[in-house]
Amino acid sequence: MPSPHVARPHVTRQILRFCDTDALGHVNNAVYAVMLEAGRSELAREAGLLDPAAGHTVVLVRLELDFLREMTWPGEVTIETWVSHIGNKSARLGQRVLVGETETARASTVIAMMSTETRRAIPFTDAWRAALAPWTVPG
């Protein structure tokens, strides 16, 4: 029997760049989506889900993003990502973007496993579910 684990968000850190800002001097809204992608991608890589050579990869199906606070350059951003539900062919992830302790954005995303051969969604295997377990927070 596997040892019990404590679910926790996956944490990714990024440095804000001057080029992330717009004419108003704050981080452009499109950059938030890029930061969220970094969080999802690092979680998927660490879980072993990104393996086109093995015939599968992860794709984004849905992104719902709430902007809560403005971000400005310079600074460091923390992206928290967790799995809130795994279905047959898709999984729902929760994400937060923080500067220090301040939550600047919150997102809900849906990812799917895709066959690199057929370009169609494929079911999550028990191995993939187990690989995501450290970041799965029951909803």
Residues 78-125: tens digit of each pLDDT? 999 999 999 999 999 999 999 999 999 999 999 999 999 999 999 999
Task: Please report the pLDDT score of residue 6 as a whole number.
Answer: 55
Q: Residue 44 is which amino acid?
A: A
In a domain, 14, yes or no: yes
Task: Give the residue numbers spanning the domain of 57.
Answer: 10-128
Name the domain count of the chain. Answer: 1
Q: Is residue 3 predicted with pLDDT exceeding 60?
A: no
In a domain, 2, yes or no: no
Residue-wise burial string across 57-82, b where 16 or more C-beta atoms lie within 10 A, e elsewhere: bbeeeebeeeeeeebeeeeebbbbbb
Distance CA 28, CA 50 (A): 28
| pLDDT tens track for 8-46 | 899 999 999 999 999 999 999 999 999 999 999 999 999
- pTM beyond cutoff 0.85: yes
User: Based on the number of CB atoms within 10 Å of its own CB, is 106 exposed (0-12), middle (13-18) or buried (19 or more)?
Assistant: middle
Of the pLDDT bands very low, low, confident and very high (cuts 50, 70, 90), residue 139 is low
